[in-house]
Chains A and B, each alone.
Chain A
Amino acid sequence: MSKPFFTVYCLIIYAFLLAPIAVVVIASFNAGAFLTFPPQGLSFRWYLVFFNNEVFMRAIRTSLWIAALTTVISGIIGTMAAMFYVTHAGKLKETVRVAMLAPLLLPEVLTAISLLFFVYSVGLGTQNLVGMIVGHVLITLPFVFINVSASMESYDPAWSLAAQSLGAGRFTRFRRIMLPLIKPGVIGGCLFAFIISFDVFTISFMLKGVGMSTLPIQLFDYLRTNFTPEAAAVSTCSIVLTMAVVVISEKVLGLRIHRF
Protein backbone atom coordinates (compact mmCIF):
# COMPACT_ATOMS: atom_id res chain seq x y z
CA MET A 1 0.00 0.00 0.00
CA SER A 2 1.42 3.39 -0.93
CA LYS A 3 1.93 5.87 1.85
CA PRO A 4 -0.64 8.55 0.96
CA PHE A 5 -3.24 5.88 0.34
CA PHE A 6 -2.49 4.32 3.71
CA THR A 7 -2.85 7.69 5.45
CA VAL A 8 -6.23 8.27 3.83
CA TYR A 9 -7.29 4.74 4.73
CA CYS A 10 -6.41 5.35 8.39
CA LEU A 11 -8.22 8.68 8.39
CA ILE A 12 -11.37 7.06 7.03
CA ILE A 13 -11.29 4.39 9.73
CA TYR A 14 -10.81 6.99 12.45
CA ALA A 15 -13.61 9.08 11.01
CA PHE A 16 -15.85 6.04 10.99
CA LEU A 17 -15.04 5.32 14.64
CA LEU A 18 -15.15 8.87 15.94
CA ALA A 19 -17.91 10.49 13.88
CA PRO A 20 -20.81 9.23 16.04
CA ILE A 21 -19.06 10.57 19.14
CA ALA A 22 -18.46 13.91 17.46
CA VAL A 23 -22.12 14.06 16.44
CA VAL A 24 -23.26 13.46 20.01
CA VAL A 25 -20.87 16.05 21.42
CA ILE A 26 -21.91 18.67 18.86
CA ALA A 27 -25.59 17.88 19.29
CA SER A 28 -25.27 18.45 23.03
CA PHE A 29 -24.62 22.15 22.41
CA ASN A 30 -27.89 22.47 20.54
CA ALA A 31 -29.91 25.55 21.42
CA GLY A 32 -33.14 24.07 20.05
CA ALA A 33 -35.65 21.92 21.88
CA PHE A 34 -35.09 18.68 19.97
CA LEU A 35 -32.19 16.35 19.44
CA THR A 36 -31.24 17.21 15.87
CA PHE A 37 -28.13 17.37 13.79
CA PRO A 38 -26.81 19.80 12.67
CA PRO A 39 -27.74 21.80 15.81
CA GLN A 40 -29.92 24.88 15.62
CA GLY A 41 -27.66 27.41 17.32
CA LEU A 42 -25.15 26.76 20.09
CA SER A 43 -25.70 27.02 23.82
CA PHE A 44 -24.96 25.35 27.17
CA ARG A 45 -28.67 25.35 27.86
CA TRP A 46 -29.05 21.56 28.06
CA TYR A 47 -26.01 21.16 30.26
CA LEU A 48 -27.64 23.43 32.79
CA VAL A 49 -30.82 21.41 32.55
CA PHE A 50 -28.81 18.22 33.05
CA PHE A 51 -26.83 19.54 36.03
CA ASN A 52 -30.06 20.65 37.67
CA ASN A 53 -31.74 17.34 36.99
CA GLU A 54 -31.56 15.58 40.34
CA VAL A 55 -32.55 12.23 38.83
CA PHE A 56 -29.61 12.22 36.43
CA MET A 57 -27.18 13.48 39.06
CA ARG A 58 -28.21 10.70 41.43
CA ALA A 59 -27.79 8.16 38.62
CA ILE A 60 -24.30 9.45 37.88
CA ARG A 61 -23.32 9.24 41.55
CA THR A 62 -24.65 5.69 41.75
CA SER A 63 -22.78 4.71 38.59
CA LEU A 64 -19.51 6.20 39.81
CA TRP A 65 -19.84 4.58 43.20
CA ILE A 66 -20.59 1.17 41.69
CA ALA A 67 -17.79 1.52 39.14
CA ALA A 68 -15.30 2.49 41.85
CA LEU A 69 -16.22 -0.46 44.11
CA THR A 70 -16.25 -2.83 41.15
CA THR A 71 -12.81 -1.66 40.04
CA VAL A 72 -11.26 -2.21 43.45
CA ILE A 73 -12.83 -5.65 44.00
CA SER A 74 -12.30 -6.81 40.44
CA GLY A 75 -8.73 -5.46 40.47
CA ILE A 76 -7.83 -7.41 43.60
CA ILE A 77 -9.53 -10.68 42.68
CA GLY A 78 -8.41 -10.50 39.04
CA THR A 79 -4.78 -9.82 39.99
CA MET A 80 -4.74 -12.66 42.49
CA ALA A 81 -6.30 -14.99 39.93
CA ALA A 82 -3.73 -13.99 37.33
CA MET A 83 -0.88 -14.59 39.79
CA PHE A 84 -2.21 -18.03 40.57
CA TYR A 85 -2.80 -18.74 36.89
CA VAL A 86 0.74 -17.86 35.81
CA THR A 87 2.80 -19.17 38.70
CA HIS A 88 0.90 -21.95 40.43
CA ALA A 89 -1.89 -23.34 38.25
CA GLY A 90 0.32 -26.01 36.66
CA LYS A 91 -1.84 -28.62 35.00
CA LEU A 92 -4.97 -26.61 35.79
CA LYS A 93 -3.78 -23.66 33.73
CA GLU A 94 -6.14 -24.14 30.80
CA THR A 95 -9.10 -24.85 33.07
CA VAL A 96 -8.46 -21.74 35.13
CA ARG A 97 -8.22 -19.60 32.00
CA VAL A 98 -11.47 -20.86 30.53
CA ALA A 99 -13.24 -20.43 33.87
CA MET A 100 -11.95 -16.88 34.21
CA LEU A 101 -13.00 -15.95 30.70
CA ALA A 102 -16.40 -17.68 30.87
CA PRO A 103 -18.33 -14.47 31.70
CA LEU A 104 -17.16 -13.08 28.35
CA LEU A 105 -18.41 -16.10 26.45
CA LEU A 106 -21.95 -16.14 27.89
CA PRO A 107 -24.60 -13.72 26.65
CA GLU A 108 -24.81 -10.94 29.20
CA VAL A 109 -28.55 -11.31 29.53
CA LEU A 110 -28.19 -14.96 30.59
CA THR A 111 -25.62 -13.99 33.21
CA ALA A 112 -27.97 -11.25 34.39
CA ILE A 113 -30.98 -13.54 34.71
CA SER A 114 -29.08 -16.28 36.51
CA LEU A 115 -27.62 -13.70 38.87
CA LEU A 116 -31.10 -12.40 39.54
CA PHE A 117 -32.23 -15.91 40.51
CA PHE A 118 -29.12 -16.29 42.55
CA VAL A 119 -29.42 -13.10 44.60
CA TYR A 120 -33.02 -13.91 45.45
CA SER A 121 -32.41 -17.55 46.27
CA VAL A 122 -29.60 -16.68 48.70
CA GLY A 123 -31.84 -14.05 50.23
CA LEU A 124 -29.76 -11.07 49.13
CA GLY A 125 -32.44 -9.53 46.94
CA THR A 126 -31.89 -6.29 45.06
CA GLN A 127 -32.54 -3.87 47.92
CA ASN A 128 -28.83 -3.08 48.27
CA LEU A 129 -25.92 -2.78 45.89
CA VAL A 130 -24.36 -6.16 46.76
CA GLY A 131 -26.03 -8.12 43.96
CA MET A 132 -25.28 -5.38 41.46
CA ILE A 133 -21.61 -5.24 42.49
CA VAL A 134 -21.32 -9.03 42.25
CA GLY A 135 -22.67 -8.84 38.71
CA HIS A 136 -20.32 -6.03 37.72
CA VAL A 137 -17.31 -7.77 39.23
CA LEU A 138 -18.26 -10.93 37.37
CA ILE A 139 -18.26 -9.32 33.95
CA THR A 140 -15.24 -7.05 34.51
CA LEU A 141 -13.06 -9.78 36.05
CA PRO A 142 -11.97 -11.28 32.68
CA PHE A 143 -10.55 -7.92 31.61
CA VAL A 144 -8.44 -7.54 34.73
CA PHE A 145 -7.39 -11.17 34.46
CA ILE A 146 -6.33 -10.90 30.80
CA ASN A 147 -4.36 -7.71 31.34
CA VAL A 148 -2.60 -8.80 34.50
CA SER A 149 -1.78 -12.31 33.29
CA ALA A 150 -0.33 -10.81 30.09
CA SER A 151 2.07 -8.67 32.11
CA MET A 152 2.75 -11.61 34.47
CA GLU A 153 3.99 -13.68 31.54
CA SER A 154 7.01 -11.41 31.19
CA TYR A 155 7.64 -11.51 34.94
CA ASP A 156 10.66 -13.66 35.78
CA PRO A 157 9.98 -15.69 38.96
CA ALA A 158 13.71 -15.38 39.71
CA TRP A 159 13.07 -11.74 40.69
CA SER A 160 10.92 -12.91 43.57
CA LEU A 161 13.50 -15.54 44.52
CA ALA A 162 16.27 -12.93 44.44
CA ALA A 163 14.24 -10.62 46.67
CA GLN A 164 13.60 -13.52 49.02
CA SER A 165 17.31 -14.36 49.19
CA LEU A 166 17.95 -10.73 50.10
CA GLY A 167 15.62 -11.04 53.07
CA ALA A 168 12.25 -9.88 51.76
CA GLY A 169 9.13 -11.55 53.14
CA ARG A 170 6.10 -12.50 51.07
CA PHE A 171 4.33 -9.14 51.32
CA THR A 172 7.44 -7.05 50.66
CA ARG A 173 8.25 -9.17 47.62
CA PHE A 174 4.82 -8.48 46.21
CA ARG A 175 4.73 -4.78 47.03
CA ARG A 176 8.27 -3.81 46.04
CA ILE A 177 9.10 -6.23 43.24
CA MET A 178 6.11 -7.89 41.62
CA LEU A 179 3.52 -5.12 41.82
CA PRO A 180 5.71 -2.40 40.25
CA LEU A 181 6.63 -4.77 37.45
CA ILE A 182 3.10 -5.90 36.62
CA LYS A 183 1.64 -2.43 37.26
CA PRO A 184 0.86 -1.63 33.60
CA GLY A 185 -1.32 -4.74 33.43
CA VAL A 186 -3.03 -4.03 36.74
CA ILE A 187 -3.83 -0.42 35.85
CA GLY A 188 -4.90 -1.35 32.33
CA GLY A 189 -7.20 -4.04 33.73
CA CYS A 190 -8.63 -1.69 36.33
CA LEU A 191 -9.36 0.94 33.69
CA PHE A 192 -11.25 -1.62 31.66
CA ALA A 193 -13.15 -2.66 34.76
CA PHE A 194 -14.09 0.92 35.58
CA ILE A 195 -15.21 1.85 32.09
CA ILE A 196 -17.14 -1.35 31.50
CA SER A 197 -18.84 -1.15 34.86
CA PHE A 198 -19.77 2.48 34.19
CA ASP A 199 -21.23 1.49 30.85
CA VAL A 200 -22.94 -1.85 31.46
CA PHE A 201 -26.68 -1.91 30.93
CA THR A 202 -28.23 -5.38 30.98
CA ILE A 203 -26.78 -6.57 34.29
CA SER A 204 -27.52 -3.28 36.01
CA PHE A 205 -31.04 -3.30 34.66
CA MET A 206 -31.77 -6.78 36.03
CA LEU A 207 -30.10 -6.33 39.38
CA LYS A 208 -31.10 -2.81 40.27
CA GLY A 209 -33.37 -2.23 43.19
CA VAL A 210 -36.70 -0.44 42.95
CA GLY A 211 -36.13 3.30 42.44
CA MET A 212 -32.39 2.80 41.90
CA SER A 213 -30.82 3.73 38.62
CA THR A 214 -27.41 3.88 36.97
CA LEU A 215 -26.59 6.39 34.27
CA PRO A 216 -27.14 4.11 31.24
CA ILE A 217 -30.47 2.94 32.65
CA GLN A 218 -31.56 6.49 33.42
CA LEU A 219 -30.56 7.61 29.96
CA PHE A 220 -32.47 4.80 28.31
CA ASP A 221 -35.46 5.53 30.47
CA TYR A 222 -35.27 9.20 29.59
CA LEU A 223 -34.99 8.61 25.85
CA ARG A 224 -38.13 6.49 25.82
CA THR A 225 -40.27 9.54 26.58
CA ASN A 226 -38.10 12.54 25.69
CA PHE A 227 -36.03 13.55 22.74
CA THR A 228 -34.22 16.67 23.90
CA PRO A 229 -30.51 17.47 23.56
CA GLU A 230 -30.21 16.82 27.29
CA ALA A 231 -29.54 13.18 26.39
CA ALA A 232 -26.59 14.30 24.28
CA ALA A 233 -25.32 16.46 27.14
CA VAL A 234 -25.51 13.43 29.48
CA SER A 235 -23.64 11.28 26.96
CA THR A 236 -20.98 13.93 26.44
CA CYS A 237 -20.41 14.21 30.17
CA SER A 238 -20.10 10.47 30.46
CA ILE A 239 -17.56 10.40 27.62
CA VAL A 240 -15.54 13.18 29.26
CA LEU A 241 -15.71 11.41 32.61
CA THR A 242 -14.38 8.12 31.23
CA MET A 243 -11.63 9.87 29.33
CA ALA A 244 -10.70 11.81 32.46
CA VAL A 245 -10.32 8.55 34.36
CA VAL A 246 -7.98 7.19 31.69
CA VAL A 247 -5.90 10.35 31.44
CA ILE A 248 -5.64 10.91 35.18
CA SER A 249 -4.58 7.33 35.91
CA GLU A 250 -2.01 7.60 33.16
CA LYS A 251 -0.59 10.78 34.65
CA VAL A 252 -0.79 9.85 38.31
CA LEU A 253 -0.07 6.12 38.33
CA GLY A 254 1.89 5.89 35.11
CA LEU A 255 1.23 3.35 32.41
CA ARG A 256 4.84 3.39 31.28
CA ILE A 257 5.91 -0.15 30.64
CA HIS A 258 9.29 -1.18 31.98
CA ARG A 259 11.51 -2.45 29.25
CA PHE A 260 13.75 -5.29 30.29
Chain B
Amino acid sequence: MTEVSIEKLTKDYGQGPAVNSISVKIAEGEFISLLGPSGCGKTTTLKMIAGFEDATQGAIRFDGRDVVHVPVEKRDIGMVFQNYALFPHMTVEKNLAFGLEMRKTPKDEIRTRIAKVLDMVQLTGYSERYPRQLSGGQQQRVALARALVIEPKILLLDEPLANLDAKLREEMRVFIRDLQRRVGITTVYVTHDQAEAMTMSDRVVVMFGGRIAQIGTPSDIYERPANLEVAEFVGQVNIIRGKVGNRVVSTAFGDVPVSGEFADGAELMLALRPEAVELLPISSGATGAPAKVLSSYYSGSLVDYRLELAGGAVVNVQTFPRTRFADGEQVLVHAPADRFWPLGTVA
Protein backbone atom coordinates (compact mmCIF):
# COMPACT_ATOMS: atom_id res chain seq x y z
CA MET B 1 0.00 0.00 0.00
CA THR B 2 1.18 3.38 -0.95
CA GLU B 3 0.80 6.89 0.29
CA VAL B 4 0.70 9.44 -2.50
CA SER B 5 1.71 13.00 -1.96
CA ILE B 6 1.22 15.67 -4.58
CA GLU B 7 3.13 18.86 -3.93
CA LYS B 8 2.60 22.14 -5.78
CA LEU B 9 1.95 20.25 -8.99
CA THR B 10 1.65 22.49 -12.05
CA LYS B 11 1.05 21.80 -15.71
CA ASP B 12 1.34 24.55 -18.24
CA TYR B 13 0.78 23.86 -21.95
CA GLY B 14 1.91 27.37 -22.74
CA GLN B 15 -1.45 29.14 -22.49
CA GLY B 16 -1.58 29.55 -18.74
CA PRO B 17 -1.57 26.71 -16.25
CA ALA B 18 -4.04 23.85 -16.82
CA VAL B 19 -3.19 22.65 -13.34
CA ASN B 20 -2.07 25.36 -10.99
CA SER B 21 0.11 24.42 -8.04
CA ILE B 22 -2.12 21.83 -6.42
CA SER B 23 -1.17 19.88 -3.31
CA VAL B 24 -2.95 16.80 -1.94
CA LYS B 25 -1.85 14.08 0.42
CA ILE B 26 -3.54 10.74 -0.24
CA ALA B 27 -3.35 8.27 2.61
CA GLU B 28 -2.64 4.56 2.22
CA GLY B 29 -5.74 2.78 0.95
CA GLU B 30 -7.70 5.98 0.60
CA PHE B 31 -10.24 6.49 -2.19
CA ILE B 32 -9.95 10.03 -3.51
CA SER B 33 -12.05 11.57 -6.26
CA LEU B 34 -11.03 14.48 -8.42
CA LEU B 35 -14.29 16.23 -9.17
CA GLY B 36 -14.92 19.18 -11.43
CA PRO B 37 -16.37 20.35 -14.72
CA SER B 38 -14.55 19.50 -17.96
CA GLY B 39 -11.42 21.55 -18.38
CA CYS B 40 -10.85 21.94 -14.62
CA GLY B 41 -7.55 20.03 -14.80
CA LYS B 42 -8.68 16.81 -13.10
CA THR B 43 -7.76 14.56 -16.03
CA THR B 44 -4.45 16.37 -16.54
CA THR B 45 -3.70 15.78 -12.86
CA LEU B 46 -4.47 12.07 -13.23
CA LYS B 47 -2.29 11.86 -16.33
CA MET B 48 0.56 13.43 -14.40
CA ILE B 49 0.16 10.92 -11.57
CA ALA B 50 0.14 8.12 -14.17
CA GLY B 51 3.10 9.66 -15.99
CA PHE B 52 1.39 10.24 -19.35
CA GLU B 53 1.96 13.97 -18.91
CA ASP B 54 5.11 15.59 -17.59
CA ALA B 55 4.66 17.96 -14.72
CA THR B 56 5.82 21.50 -15.45
CA GLN B 57 6.59 21.95 -11.77
CA GLY B 58 6.08 20.22 -8.48
CA ALA B 59 6.47 16.73 -7.11
CA ILE B 60 4.49 13.50 -7.04
CA ARG B 61 5.68 11.17 -4.30
CA PHE B 62 4.80 7.51 -3.90
CA ASP B 63 5.74 6.67 -0.30
CA GLY B 64 8.05 9.66 -0.20
CA ARG B 65 9.88 8.85 -3.45
CA ASP B 66 9.50 11.45 -6.19
CA VAL B 67 8.29 9.68 -9.33
CA VAL B 68 8.06 12.70 -11.64
CA HIS B 69 10.97 11.41 -13.73
CA VAL B 70 9.91 7.76 -13.66
CA PRO B 71 8.38 6.70 -17.00
CA VAL B 72 4.84 5.31 -17.01
CA GLU B 73 5.93 1.72 -17.59
CA LYS B 74 8.17 1.78 -14.52
CA ARG B 75 5.77 3.66 -12.26
CA ASP B 76 3.80 0.59 -11.20
CA ILE B 77 0.30 1.99 -11.60
CA GLY B 78 -2.96 0.32 -12.49
CA MET B 79 -5.08 2.40 -14.79
CA VAL B 80 -8.67 2.04 -15.99
CA PHE B 81 -9.51 4.10 -19.07
CA GLN B 82 -12.81 5.69 -19.97
CA ASN B 83 -13.34 3.36 -22.94
CA TYR B 84 -11.60 0.47 -21.08
CA ALA B 85 -8.90 0.12 -23.78
CA LEU B 86 -8.98 -3.67 -23.63
CA PHE B 87 -6.72 -5.23 -26.26
CA PRO B 88 -9.21 -6.39 -28.91
CA HIS B 89 -6.96 -9.09 -30.34
CA MET B 90 -6.48 -10.82 -27.00
CA THR B 91 -8.83 -12.94 -24.92
CA VAL B 92 -9.74 -11.85 -21.40
CA GLU B 93 -7.04 -14.16 -20.07
CA LYS B 94 -4.35 -12.72 -22.36
CA ASN B 95 -5.43 -9.20 -21.48
CA LEU B 96 -5.01 -10.02 -17.80
CA ALA B 97 -1.73 -11.86 -18.35
CA PHE B 98 -0.14 -8.96 -20.27
CA GLY B 99 0.91 -6.90 -17.25
CA LEU B 100 2.18 -9.95 -15.40
CA GLU B 101 4.23 -11.05 -18.42
CA MET B 102 5.81 -7.59 -18.47
CA ARG B 103 6.82 -8.27 -14.86
CA LYS B 104 8.26 -11.68 -15.80
CA THR B 105 5.90 -13.47 -13.42
CA PRO B 106 6.22 -17.29 -13.67
CA LYS B 107 3.56 -19.00 -15.80
CA ASP B 108 1.81 -20.94 -13.06
CA GLU B 109 1.66 -17.89 -10.82
CA ILE B 110 0.11 -15.94 -13.70
CA ARG B 111 -2.55 -18.63 -13.94
CA THR B 112 -3.42 -18.58 -10.25
CA ARG B 113 -3.45 -14.79 -10.07
CA ILE B 114 -5.75 -14.52 -13.09
CA ALA B 115 -8.13 -17.09 -11.58
CA LYS B 116 -8.15 -15.12 -8.33
CA VAL B 117 -8.80 -11.74 -9.95
CA LEU B 118 -11.51 -13.15 -12.25
CA ASP B 119 -13.25 -14.51 -9.18
CA MET B 120 -12.92 -11.10 -7.55
CA VAL B 121 -14.66 -9.34 -10.47
CA GLN B 122 -17.15 -12.20 -10.82
CA LEU B 123 -16.07 -13.20 -14.31
CA THR B 124 -14.87 -16.75 -13.71
CA GLY B 125 -15.50 -18.73 -16.88
CA TYR B 126 -15.03 -15.76 -19.19
CA SER B 127 -11.28 -16.13 -19.68
CA GLU B 128 -11.51 -17.36 -23.28
CA ARG B 129 -13.84 -14.59 -24.45
CA TYR B 130 -12.70 -11.70 -26.61
CA PRO B 131 -13.57 -8.18 -25.43
CA ARG B 132 -16.09 -7.73 -28.26
CA GLN B 133 -18.03 -10.73 -26.88
CA LEU B 134 -18.56 -8.98 -23.53
CA SER B 135 -21.15 -6.43 -22.45
CA GLY B 136 -20.09 -2.93 -21.40
CA GLY B 137 -20.26 -3.79 -17.71
CA GLN B 138 -18.23 -6.96 -18.20
CA GLN B 139 -15.60 -5.10 -20.22
CA GLN B 140 -15.45 -2.59 -17.39
CA ARG B 141 -14.79 -5.35 -14.87
CA VAL B 142 -12.10 -6.89 -17.08
CA ALA B 143 -10.45 -3.47 -17.29
CA LEU B 144 -10.53 -3.26 -13.48
CA ALA B 145 -9.17 -6.79 -13.16
CA ARG B 146 -6.38 -6.02 -15.63
CA ALA B 147 -5.36 -2.98 -13.59
CA LEU B 148 -5.54 -4.84 -10.27
CA VAL B 149 -3.95 -8.17 -11.19
CA ILE B 150 -0.50 -6.58 -11.35
CA GLU B 151 -0.95 -5.43 -7.75
CA PRO B 152 0.07 -1.87 -8.53
CA LYS B 153 1.00 0.78 -6.01
CA ILE B 154 -2.02 2.88 -6.90
CA LEU B 155 -5.18 2.50 -8.92
CA LEU B 156 -6.15 5.33 -11.28
CA LEU B 157 -9.59 5.53 -12.83
CA ASP B 158 -10.46 8.02 -15.57
CA GLU B 159 -14.25 8.46 -15.73
CA PRO B 160 -14.67 4.69 -15.95
CA LEU B 161 -18.46 4.74 -15.71
CA ALA B 162 -19.13 7.45 -18.29
CA ASN B 163 -19.99 4.98 -21.06
CA LEU B 164 -22.41 2.84 -19.06
CA ASP B 165 -26.16 3.27 -18.81
CA ALA B 166 -27.64 4.75 -15.64
CA LYS B 167 -28.63 1.54 -13.88
CA LEU B 168 -25.36 -0.24 -14.55
CA ARG B 169 -23.48 2.88 -13.50
CA GLU B 170 -25.05 2.70 -10.05
CA GLU B 171 -24.26 -0.99 -9.72
CA MET B 172 -20.66 -0.42 -10.77
CA ARG B 173 -20.24 2.40 -8.25
CA VAL B 174 -20.97 -0.01 -5.43
CA PHE B 175 -18.95 -2.77 -7.09
CA ILE B 176 -15.83 -0.63 -7.53
CA ARG B 177 -16.09 0.79 -4.04
CA ASP B 178 -16.44 -2.66 -2.44
CA LEU B 179 -13.59 -4.06 -4.51
CA GLN B 180 -11.36 -1.14 -3.60
CA ARG B 181 -12.11 -1.62 0.12
CA ARG B 182 -11.35 -5.34 -0.07
CA VAL B 183 -8.09 -4.86 -1.94
CA GLY B 184 -7.22 -1.82 0.15
CA ILE B 185 -5.47 -0.06 -2.70
CA THR B 186 -4.85 3.68 -2.79
CA THR B 187 -7.18 4.99 -5.48
CA VAL B 188 -7.58 8.19 -7.48
CA TYR B 189 -10.86 8.50 -9.33
CA VAL B 190 -11.60 11.22 -11.88
CA THR B 191 -15.21 12.19 -12.53
CA HIS B 192 -17.44 15.09 -13.38
CA ASP B 193 -20.41 13.34 -11.79
CA GLN B 194 -20.84 14.62 -8.24
CA ALA B 195 -23.08 11.74 -7.19
CA GLU B 196 -20.36 9.28 -8.20
CA ALA B 197 -17.72 11.19 -6.30
CA MET B 198 -19.92 11.49 -3.20
CA THR B 199 -20.99 7.85 -2.95
CA MET B 200 -17.61 6.29 -3.64
CA SER B 201 -14.95 8.48 -2.08
CA ASP B 202 -13.34 8.82 1.31
CA ARG B 203 -12.48 12.35 0.31
CA VAL B 204 -13.35 14.52 -2.66
CA VAL B 205 -11.07 17.08 -4.28
CA VAL B 206 -13.19 19.70 -6.04
CA MET B 207 -11.31 21.49 -8.81
CA PHE B 208 -12.12 24.59 -10.82
CA GLY B 209 -9.88 26.21 -13.42
CA GLY B 210 -6.81 24.19 -12.51
CA ARG B 211 -7.02 24.95 -8.81
CA ILE B 212 -8.35 23.03 -5.85
CA ALA B 213 -11.51 24.70 -4.56
CA GLN B 214 -12.00 22.32 -1.64
CA ILE B 215 -10.74 19.03 -0.25
CA GLY B 216 -12.96 17.19 2.17
CA THR B 217 -15.19 14.26 2.95
CA PRO B 218 -18.37 14.03 0.87
CA SER B 219 -20.38 15.51 3.75
CA ASP B 220 -17.90 18.40 4.16
CA ILE B 221 -18.25 19.19 0.49
CA TYR B 222 -22.00 18.96 0.50
CA GLU B 223 -22.89 20.51 3.82
CA ARG B 224 -20.01 22.92 4.29
CA PRO B 225 -18.98 24.01 0.78
CA ALA B 226 -15.99 26.34 0.69
CA ASN B 227 -17.56 28.79 -1.70
CA LEU B 228 -20.47 29.49 -4.02
CA GLU B 229 -18.91 27.59 -6.93
CA VAL B 230 -18.51 24.39 -4.92
CA ALA B 231 -21.99 24.72 -3.44
CA GLU B 232 -23.53 25.07 -6.89
CA PHE B 233 -21.48 22.32 -8.50
CA VAL B 234 -22.24 19.71 -5.84
CA GLY B 235 -25.96 19.15 -5.89
CA GLN B 236 -28.76 21.69 -5.92
CA VAL B 237 -28.60 24.68 -3.67
CA ASN B 238 -30.64 27.75 -2.80
CA ILE B 239 -28.67 30.89 -2.22
CA ILE B 240 -30.39 32.94 0.48
CA ARG B 241 -29.26 36.52 0.96
CA GLY B 242 -29.54 38.57 4.08
CA LYS B 243 -27.98 41.45 6.04
CA VAL B 244 -25.76 40.74 9.00
CA GLY B 245 -26.55 42.45 12.24
CA ASN B 246 -25.32 41.46 15.65
CA ARG B 247 -24.11 37.99 14.51
CA VAL B 248 -27.51 37.28 13.01
CA VAL B 249 -28.55 37.31 9.36
CA SER B 250 -32.08 38.37 8.70
CA THR B 251 -33.51 36.40 5.79
CA ALA B 252 -36.88 35.63 4.29
CA PHE B 253 -36.81 32.50 6.49
CA GLY B 254 -36.33 34.53 9.59
CA ASP B 255 -33.20 35.31 11.58
CA VAL B 256 -30.28 32.92 11.21
CA PRO B 257 -27.39 33.11 13.66
CA VAL B 258 -23.99 32.88 11.99
CA SER B 259 -20.65 32.04 13.44
CA GLY B 260 -17.56 33.62 11.91
CA GLU B 261 -16.47 37.18 11.57
CA PHE B 262 -18.84 39.15 9.40
CA ALA B 263 -19.13 42.90 9.74
CA ASP B 264 -22.52 44.32 10.67
CA GLY B 265 -24.39 45.56 7.62
CA ALA B 266 -22.62 43.23 5.19
CA GLU B 267 -24.85 41.30 2.80
CA LEU B 268 -24.25 37.60 3.24
CA MET B 269 -24.95 34.57 0.99
CA LEU B 270 -26.19 31.47 2.75
CA ALA B 271 -26.40 28.03 1.18
CA LEU B 272 -29.57 26.10 1.85
CA ARG B 273 -30.01 22.63 0.37
CA PRO B 274 -33.50 21.91 -1.05
CA GLU B 275 -34.03 18.88 1.20
CA ALA B 276 -33.26 20.92 4.33
CA VAL B 277 -36.45 22.90 3.90
CA GLU B 278 -39.70 21.75 5.43
CA LEU B 279 -43.07 22.47 3.84
CA LEU B 280 -46.14 22.80 6.06
CA PRO B 281 -49.75 23.49 5.27
CA ILE B 282 -50.88 27.02 6.14
CA SER B 283 -53.53 25.47 8.39
CA SER B 284 -50.89 23.92 10.67
CA GLY B 285 -50.25 27.31 12.18
CA ALA B 286 -46.57 26.48 12.64
CA THR B 287 -43.84 29.07 12.46
CA GLY B 288 -42.47 29.63 9.00
CA ALA B 289 -42.41 31.99 6.08
CA PRO B 290 -45.43 32.03 3.77
CA ALA B 291 -44.80 30.97 0.19
CA LYS B 292 -46.68 30.06 -2.94
CA VAL B 293 -46.16 26.81 -4.88
CA LEU B 294 -45.11 27.66 -8.44
CA SER B 295 -44.66 24.15 -9.75
CA SER B 296 -43.88 20.65 -8.58
CA TYR B 297 -42.08 17.69 -10.10
CA TYR B 298 -42.86 14.22 -8.86
CA SER B 299 -40.13 11.62 -9.28
CA GLY B 300 -41.41 8.67 -7.27
CA SER B 301 -39.43 8.78 -4.08
CA LEU B 302 -39.23 12.57 -3.96
CA VAL B 303 -41.08 15.69 -5.01
CA ASP B 304 -39.32 18.85 -6.11
CA TYR B 305 -41.17 22.13 -5.58
CA ARG B 306 -40.46 25.59 -6.85
CA LEU B 307 -41.78 28.15 -4.39
CA GLU B 308 -42.04 31.90 -4.36
CA LEU B 309 -41.43 33.59 -1.05
CA ALA B 310 -43.24 36.69 0.03
CA GLY B 311 -40.37 38.93 -1.08
CA GLY B 312 -40.40 37.44 -4.58
CA ALA B 313 -37.37 35.14 -4.10
CA VAL B 314 -37.69 31.66 -5.61
CA VAL B 315 -36.53 28.63 -3.64
CA ASN B 316 -36.33 24.97 -4.59
CA VAL B 317 -37.50 22.47 -2.03
CA GLN B 318 -37.24 18.72 -2.08
CA THR B 319 -39.52 16.64 0.13
CA PHE B 320 -40.87 13.14 0.48
CA PRO B 321 -44.24 12.86 -1.22
CA ARG B 322 -46.20 12.22 2.00
CA THR B 323 -48.11 15.44 1.77
CA ARG B 324 -48.61 16.90 -1.69
CA PHE B 325 -49.25 20.55 -2.37
CA ALA B 326 -51.00 21.77 -5.49
CA ASP B 327 -49.60 24.45 -7.79
CA GLY B 328 -50.69 27.87 -6.60
CA GLU B 329 -51.30 26.69 -3.03
CA GLN B 330 -50.09 28.81 -0.13
CA VAL B 331 -47.73 26.97 2.22
CA LEU B 332 -45.37 27.66 5.08
CA VAL B 333 -41.67 27.04 4.60
CA HIS B 334 -39.33 26.44 7.46
CA ALA B 335 -35.65 25.58 7.69
CA PRO B 336 -33.71 24.89 10.89
CA ALA B 337 -31.10 27.57 11.54
CA ASP B 338 -28.25 25.03 11.52
CA ARG B 339 -28.98 24.03 7.92
CA PHE B 340 -27.85 27.42 6.58
CA TRP B 341 -24.19 27.60 5.61
CA PRO B 342 -22.49 30.96 5.05
CA LEU B 343 -20.71 31.22 1.69
CA GLY B 344 -19.33 34.70 2.22
CA THR B 345 -20.42 38.21 1.52
CA VAL B 346 -21.99 39.35 -1.74
CA ALA B 347 -19.23 40.72 -3.92
Contact = CB atoms under 8 A, between A and B. Distances in A.
Q: Do A and B come from one complex?
A: yes
Interface of A: 156, 158-159, 161-169, 172, 176-177, 180-181, 258-260
B69 interface: no
A166 to B, nearest CB: 4
Interface residues of B, number: 25
Contacts of B83: 156, 158
B88 A166 contact: no
A39 B273 CA distance: 96
A177 B189 CA distance: 26
Interface in B52-105: 52, 72-74, 76-79, 81, 83, 85-89, 98-99, 102-103
A110 B53 CA distance: 47
A180 B72 CA distance: 22
A158 B47 CA distance: 12
Contacts of B74: 167
A159 B85 contact: yes
Nearest to A163: B98
A168 B98 contact: yes
B73 A158 contact: no
Given A181-B88, A258-B88, A259-B132, A167 B73 contact: yes
A169 B88 CA distance: 19
B89 A166 contact: no
B146 interface: yes
Contacts of B86: 162
A95 to B, nearest CB: 23
Nearest to A154: B88
Contacts of A177: 87
B68 to A, nearest CB: 17
Given A161-B81, A167-B99, A260-B132, 10 more contacts: A158-B83, A159-B87, A164-B72, A165-B72, A166-B102, A167-B73, A167-B74, A172-B102, A176-B98, A181-B89
B89 A180 contact: yes
Given A168-B73, A180-B89, A259-B132, A162 B79 contact: yes
A160 to B, nearest CB: 9
Contacts of A260: 88, 131-132
B150 interface: yes
Contact of B50 (A165, A176, A258, A259): A165
11 contacts: A158-B81, A159-B88, A162-B146, A163-B98, A164-B52, A165-B77, A166-B98, A167-B150, A168-B102, A176-B98, A258-B89
B30 to A, nearest CB: 20
Given A180-B89, A181-B89, A258-B89, A164 B81 contact: no
A200 B88 CA distance: 38
A161 B73 contact: no
Nearest to B72: A164
A193 B146 CA distance: 39
A159 B146 CA distance: 13
A26 B122 CA distance: 64
Best-buried of A156, A165, A176 by chain B (most CB within 10 Å)? A165
A259 B133 CA distance: 10
Contacts of A172: 102
A162 B157 CA distance: 12
Contacts of A163: 87, 98
A144 B85 CA distance: 27
A164 B147 CA distance: 12
Interface string B242-258: 00000000000000000
